Amino acid sequence: MNFVKKITFITLSLIVFDGMLLNAGDGDLKYSISQFYFDLEKAAALSDERLSQIRAQAGFEIVEAIRLGNSTRLELLLRFINPNFNIDADGWTPLHLAVLRGHVVCIHALINAGANIEAKDNEGFTPLHVAAMEGRAECVKVLADAGSNIDVQDDTLGTALHYAAIEGHADCVSALIKAGANIEAQGHTPSHKTTGITPLNMAATFGYVDCVKILIESGANVYAVCKGKTILDFASDSQTKKLLEDYLTKDTEKTLRKLHV
């Protein structure tokens, strides 16, 4: 093991050991200490294999730091570990998890350490998709400011704006539109297989009046037809339908007044 690898190994070992102490109960503490020094001594006779194992353990410590929102510990670990690795069988990265938890400081730490903000899981979900689905408006803003593709689509062609509308997260809908999201993006989602669905269609379908209002006020096309269905056909409840009918009536009256001027 060369000098650089030795230094890396010792540093990572100390960090991981510190994590072992934090996670160990009183009964496990003595074992943790003896096991650690045994591993450290044994590592001198081993090559890259043990360093790889230590790195794997450090990866686990990164996940734990994110779960706990411990940005100080996370930043220390990120000095030695590339944040672009999968943390589960679904293809999630540490950044996906940080967004899910809503730990903005951890998100900044990961991005500063080179985390891929466009990383996709097995279903094509990026961290931005997760932020929209979970209603993490502040995370949406952070990712947008970092240059995330606002209109990136998952495997079903759904954008972050689609998912914010589906879940009724009005603050995320506003944040995404402010960041330049395409309000006429067309796609379909696992919960609604019809293709050509827009975010407005989704918001109307699930009766999220606040989202419908925001989308209309932002210029969403209320006259668009999808598979022969108008926006009123998508409206699932009386309140949403009345909102849309009132808007359409006012818009028609405004148009007629212009024609008679």
Residue 228: which pLDDT band, with cuts at 50, 70 and 90? confident
Q: Above pLDDT 70, what percent of the chain?
A: 72
Q: What pLDDT shows up at residue 222?
A: 93
DSSP-assigned beta bridge partners for residue 187: 197
Maximum Cα–Cα distance across the chain: 91
Residue bearing the bigger pLDDT, 187 or 34:
187
Helix axes 137-145, 104-112, angle to 10 degrees: 20
**Region 22-36 average pLDDT:** 46
Q: What pLDDT shows up at residue 260?
A: 47
Whether 128 and 160 have beta carbons less than 8 Å apart is answered as yes
One-letter amino acid at 249 equals T
Question: In whole angstroms, what separates CA 171 from the centre of its chain?
Answer: 15
Mean pLDDT over the full length of the chain:
82
Q: What pLDDT shows up at residue 28?
A: 47
Residue 58: which pLDDT band, with cuts at 50, 70 and 90? confident
Does residue 185 belong to any structural domain of this protein? no
Q: Determine how β-strand 192-197 pairs with β-strand 187-189.
A: antiparallel
Q: What pLDDT shows up at residue 59?
A: 83
Q: What count of other Cβ atoms lies within 10 Å of the Cβ of residue 17? A: 19
Does residue 105 belong to any structural domain of this protein? yes
Instruction: Quote the Cα angle for 139-145-149, to 5°.
Output: 85
Residue 186: which pLDDT band, with cuts at 50, 70 and 90? confident
Does residue 34 belong to any structural domain of this protein? yes
Q: What count of other Cβ atoms lies within 10 Å of the Cβ of residue 18? A: 14
Does residue 200 belong to any structural domain of this protein? no
Does residue 190 belong to any structural domain of this protein? no
Residue bearing the bigger pLDDT, 228 or 24:
228
Does residue 209 belong to any structural domain of this protein? no
**Region 197-216 average pLDDT:** 96
Residue bearing the bigger pLDDT, 252 or 230:
230
45-59, 70-84, 117-131: which has the minimum mean pLDDT? 45-59
Question: What CATH number should be reported for the domain holding residue 29?
Answer: 1.25.40
Count structural domains, the chain: 1
Does residue 220 belong to any structural domain of this protein? no
Which range marks the domain in which residue 82 is found?
1-116
Residue bearing the bigger pLDDT, 58 or 143:
143
Does residue 221 belong to any structural domain of this protein? no
Helix axes 137-145, 170-178, angle to 10 degrees: 10
Whether 18 and 10 have beta carbons less than 8 Å apart is answered as no
**Region 207-221 average pLDDT:** 96
